[in-house]
Structure 1
Amino acid sequence: MYMLVDCSNCRTPLQLPPGAKSIRCAICNAITLIAEPRAVAPPPASSYHHQQQYPPPAPWPSPYQTPGGPPPSAHGRKRALIVGISYKYSRHELKGCINDAKCMKYLLVNHFKFPESSILMLTEEETDPLRIPTKHNIRMAMYWLVQGCQQGDSLVFHYSGHGSQQRNYTGDEVDGYDETLCPLDFETQGMIVDDEINATIVRPLPRGVKLHAIIDACHSGTVLDLPFLCRMDRSGQYVWEDHRPRSGVWKGTSGGEVISFSGCDDDQTSADTSALSRVTSTGAMTYCFIQAIERGHAATYGSMLNSMRSTIRNDLGSGGGGGVVTSLITMLLTGGSLTGGFVQEPQLTACETFDVYAKPFSL
């Protein structure tokens, strides 16, 4: 049984293995001796308004530092965390997740002008042990993503891998289940629950900071535990569903803005787009997200969501490879037809409601 302790230097929550007398923090590199375990429940939302500014993470180069160049501007910085897990050599293996991560990085760098140094990639292909997508490393990377953010910053969290559900006993979930992400070592270390994701990368965000999450996983509709879900029908008509917990626990931000695109509804599963030749695949949701941008259908959040759903139904769901593999995908993969038959509907959730056909989409 792991015990949660706070780092003695930067106060990041750390998992102390059974019997361990000390632990090194992956964020600030400080060694913490055994301390009083902290409660798993996050601190009240009001405390986030005075969030401590942590030092830059020691093991990972600070994305806000440009060696040899001029210092970055005070605001308007970009930072991204990209996680792709294939679960290779296990019975849970997925084919397209690492390709998803590579495609998303290419999109952010070349289309949205994210500096490569501001993107942290966690995949099984990484040689640095801190960049393997274990539960501990994903947790540390989520803290890294929001550290020191300030007005004007744009953050992105992309995850491609397994998602799941577990019974919720607090009454905070409309359907009675918490949504989860499955790290590489989830069978031994457990899953990352939506409550923790919300407490780590949603609630701390101050006013003027924008976070987009792109989650390509099963059961991912409300995996950020955001208060509102955009329920859209096939004609494009929509209503906002209120998913705020009956307990009154605040699931929004500390003034920032969070919008999440997810691969499917909470009760649905997400699929790979498998190729017929020697090609591997990509996640259907990641593919549709990139397609919407490349085809010029991402003017607003409503047009973006409609385009993604249309691609799922028409290009991938037909089972005949009707989708065009664009220059972005073909640069990273080789050619091939897409097969499908998918039953999934990408979802949009947010920390506050808005007119999805009026609000411009931007990263």
Structure 2
Amino acid sequence: GTLNSRLTMPLTTPGTYRIVATSYRAGEVGPYELKLLTQRGDPQAAAAPSGGPEQRIEGSLAQGDTTLQSGEFMDEHRFEWPAGTRVHIEAQSSDFDSYLIVHPPSGPQRDNDDLRPGQSLDAGLDLQVDQGGTYRVIVTSYQPGETGSYALVIRGAPATTPTAPAQANGSGATPTPTPTPTPSPTPAAAPAGARTETGTLAQGDRTLESGEFADAFTMSFTPQSAVQIRLESSDFDTYLIVRSPSGHQEDNDDFAAGQSLNSGLDLPVAEPGDYTITVTSYRPGETGSYRLVVTEGPSVVAPPSAPSAPGTPAASPGEAGRVWGLFAGITDYPGSVNDLPECANDARKLAEAVRNQGNMPQSQEFLFTDAQATTANLRQAMQTITQRIRPDDVLVFFYSGHGGQTDSSSDPRELDRQDEYLLMHDGRMMDDELGRLFDGLNARVALVAIDACFAGGFAKDVITRPGRVGMFSSEEDVTSAVAGRFQAGGYLSHFLRLGINGEADNDPHNAILTVGELTHYTWRQFGQHASDVRMSMGYQHLVVDRGAVQTSEVLWASRR
């Protein structure tokens, strides 16, 4: 990450906008640069299209060059490109902050300042050539008066010799195309197996209540497949509306906000039935051509399968992801350690709830209760899972039992200088070691649920990489209560089980459980039934840490 800030917003109201530059903390000082971009590039700008050689044109901006009305020096290059070509353009310079402007034969210009904001000052964009003819490519600078050498790089277009108007001082630009054979121009191709619809928004089309022209398409998909929908246009600011068979609606304006005016939506798991896909514009009255591309991919959830015996190899790479489970609960502690009612049953019940969804075969379930819940068994199970789990699989890690803290931690992440631990039947499993056990795991999602005192302290050790979601029964300095009125060892255990059993599947209700549905359901149940649980160290609050996992991420589809 960086310390830079960025805000993208549609300017729908004319007038004066006040932009305030400030710091995150009081009293911070230093120089800064404020950039305003009034038009956005393409989300695929970082990818070089195939189908043509690379042309590299060396040039320089210098005193005496033609200037824009705003004072920046500029060089203009002209290219003849046929319709159907996809062209990638970059203006590279180590001497100045480059700015790129492209004028098509007709229609609005495209421009870009930074191809990769925060990483480079080079400009670039991708261009879908919908109309053949002469394209004017202007290399200029972000600020007036900047000078220096640059390279204009063109990829994907058939090799041509561009023309650059002579400059007053003779600097100009010298084309140096890469000496590669010239292939025939090829139209931009949709992904293999994609469904492509081309059309036009025009006067006389039906309109939405808000005044935008709209075209509607009815499509059905393979149930539980992953579907990608993209809407592209160089004529207007696209807007995409998708209504599912169950009536759930999703909208999108800019799929890559700040980079493109194209729209897009991803459906992680398609429902059976007909979808209505509406192509429209961001503002009323916009017209022009568009292309709608819909692609189906493999499901992210596992196909139904018969239970397999322990030791069965993991599913073949061609199959969709499956669910693995590690469940540990301790009620009967040895020696003088206080027993905890229902914690062993918490593990049994949660394992049963996940198993009943039909995605976790016996060979992928590890259940340890009471004397079986040892540090050695937990380590061995995590090692086995790490060796056999695949990148499209899901892991549910659950613990219900005693949790504790130790003083004098040397971990710089522990601001309170205390480490947390799970009290297993044979001793402590420290938070640092649990984090290391997760380090080798490569799963699509790892759901970590810990119902124990001080559980929130495990977040900084375990939720450290993409794909991990943490649900913890209390904050790191607060103990957790036994949920006696629900006949459960803890509130998290009870609400999590109910959610997995189907109560969380409600946005929409479609037999598909997402991370957002499960975490929101559990959070709401805590608010309704456990908001006033007062412990000696404070009120018990659920801690949810989704890391970099989006709420739309699918855990599984129920197969009951």
Q: TM-score, normalised by structure 2?
A: 0.38
* Structure 1 residue 296 corresponds to structure 2 residue 504: yes
Matched-pair contact (CA < 8 Å) for 2:531–2:541: no
Counterpart contact for 1:86–1:96, Cα < 8 Å: yes
Q: 1:301 to 1:74 in 2, by over 3 A?
A: closer
Paired position in structure 1 for 2:471 = 261
Deviation at 1:88, TM superposition (A): 4.1
Shift of 1:224: 4.7
Where 1:281 maps in the other structure, the secondary structure is: coil
Supply the distance in 1 between the matched residues of 2:381 and 2:460 (Cα, whole angstroms): 19
Give yes or no for the alignment of 1:200 onto 2:437: yes
Structure 2 residues without counterparts, runs of 5 or longer: 1-308, 508-513
Residues 306 and 152 of structure 1: CA distance in aligned 2, closer, same or farther (over 3 Å): closer
CA contact under 8 A between 1:166 and 1:178: conserved in structure 2? yes
Q: Which has the larger radius of gyration?
A: 2
The offset of 1:291, in angstroms, is: 2.9
Give the conservation status (yes or no) of the 8 Å contact 2:445–2:555. no
Q: Which has the higher strand share?
A: 2
Cα distance in 2 for partners of 1:150, 1:274 equals 38
Report matched runs for 1:63-74 at 5 Å. Answer: 64=313
Once residues 86 and 78 of structure 1 are traced to their aligned partners in structure 2, the CA distance between those partners, rounded to angstroms, is 26
| Helix, strand or coil at the partner of 1:200 | helix
Q: Distance in 1 between matches of 2:333 and 2:431?
A: 25
1:205-220 pair list within 5 angstroms: 205-206=441-442, 209-220=444-455
Whether 2:551 is the aligned partner of 1:311: answer no
Deviations 1:111-165 (A, max 9, x none): 252113321111127xxxxxx1122222222222222322212111111111112
Amino acid at match of 1:99: N
Matched, 1:137 2:377: yes
Correspondence 1:238-277 to 2 at 5 A: 251-252=464-465, 257-275=467-485
Q: After TM superposition, give the deviation of residue 305 of structure 1 in Å.
A: 3.3
* Structure 2 residue aligned with 1:116: 362
Q: What code does the residue aligned with 1:315 have?
A: H
- Paired letter, 2:455: S
- In the superposition, the TM-score normalised over structure 1's length comes to 0.57
CA shift in 2, pair 1:79/1:179, >3 Å: same
Alignment check: 8 A CA contact 2:448 2:471 kept: yes
How far, CA to CA, are the matches of 2:317 and 2:390 in structure 1? 13
Counterpart residue identity of residue 440, structure 2: P
Match of 1:93 among 311, 324, 339: 339
Matching residue of 1:237: none
Q: CA RMSD in A?
A: 3.0
CA-CA distance at 1:166 after TM superposition: 1.8
1:159 is matched with which residue? 399
Contact 2:504 2:521 (8 Å CA) reproduced: no
Q: Is the 8 A contact 1:63 1:79 kept in 2?
A: no
The letter for the 1-side match of 2:310 is P
Deviation, structure 1 residue 349? 2.2
Contact 1:219 1:266 (8 Å CA) reproduced = yes
What is residue 15 of structure 1 aligned with on the other side?
none
Q: CA deviation at 1:83?
A: 0.5
Task: Sort the Cα spacing of 1:312 and 1:74 in 2 relative to 1 into closer, same or farther, 3 A.
Answer: closer
CA distance in structure 2 between the partners assigned to 1:155 and 1:354 by the alignment: 14
Could you tell me which residue of structure 1 aligns to residue 416 of structure 2?
175
Aligned pair in 2 of structure 1 residues 226, 95: CA closer, same or farther (>3 Å)? Answer: same
Matched, 1:362 2:555: yes
Instruction: State how many pairs are aligned.
Output: 236
Q: Cα offset for 1:79? A: 1.6
- Given that 1:211 and 1:257 are in contact with CA atoms closer than 8 Å, whether structure 2 keeps it comes out as yes
Matches within 5 A, 1:319-358: 343-350=539-546, 352-353=547-548, 356=551
3-state SS in 1 of match to 2:416: coil
Q: How many Å separate the matches in 1 of 2:457 and 2:358?
A: 25
**Is this contact kept in 1: 2:469–2:549, CA < 8 A?**
no
| SS class of match (1:147) | helix
Find the aligned partners of 1:227 and 1:78 in 2 and give their Cα distance. 19
Residues 75, 150 of structure 1: 8 Å contact kept: no
Structure number with higher relative contact order (C-alpha < 8 Å, ≥ 6 residues apart): 1
CA, structure 1 residues 112+262, in 2 after alignment: closer, same or farther (shift >3 Å)? farther
Q: Does the CA contact (< 8 Å) of 1:305 and 1:346 recur in 2? A: no
Distance 1:362 1:75 in 2: 12
Secondary structure in 1 aligned to 2:458? coil
Q: Could you say which structure has the higher helix fraction?
A: 1
Separation (CA, whole Å) in 2 of partners of 1:152 and 1:65? 12
Task: Quote the offset at 1:78 in angstroms.
Answer: 2.4
Return the alpha-carbon distance in structure 1 between the equivalents of residues 450 and 518 of structure 2. 15
Encode CA deviations 1:52-75: one digit per residue, 9 max, x unaligned.
xxxxxxxx9325469xxxx79555
AA aligned to 1:295 is E
Cross-structure match for 1:13: none
Amino acid at match of 1:281: A
User: In structure 2, the residue corresponding to 1:353 is in which secondary structure?
Assistant: coil
Report the Cα offset of residue 107 of structure 1: 1.0
Whole-angstrom CA distance in 1 between matches of 2:515 and 2:484: 27
Distance in 1, Cα, partners of 2:358 & 2:327: 15
Q: Relative to structure 1, is the Cα distance of residues 292 and 65 closer, same or farther in structure 2, using a 3 angstrom cutoff?
A: closer
C-alpha separation in 1, matches of 2:549 and 2:367: 31
**CA separation of 1:166/1:361 partners in 2, compared to 1, >3 Å: closer, same or farther?**
farther
SS of residue in 2 equivalent to 1:214: strand
* Cα distance change of structure 1 residues 155 and 219 upon mapping to structure 2, 3 Å threshold: same
Please report how far the alpha carbon of residue 205 of structure 1 lies from its aligned counterpart in structure 2 after TM superposition: 2.5
**Is the 2:340–2:489 contact (alpha carbons within 8 Å) kept by the matching residues of 1?**
no
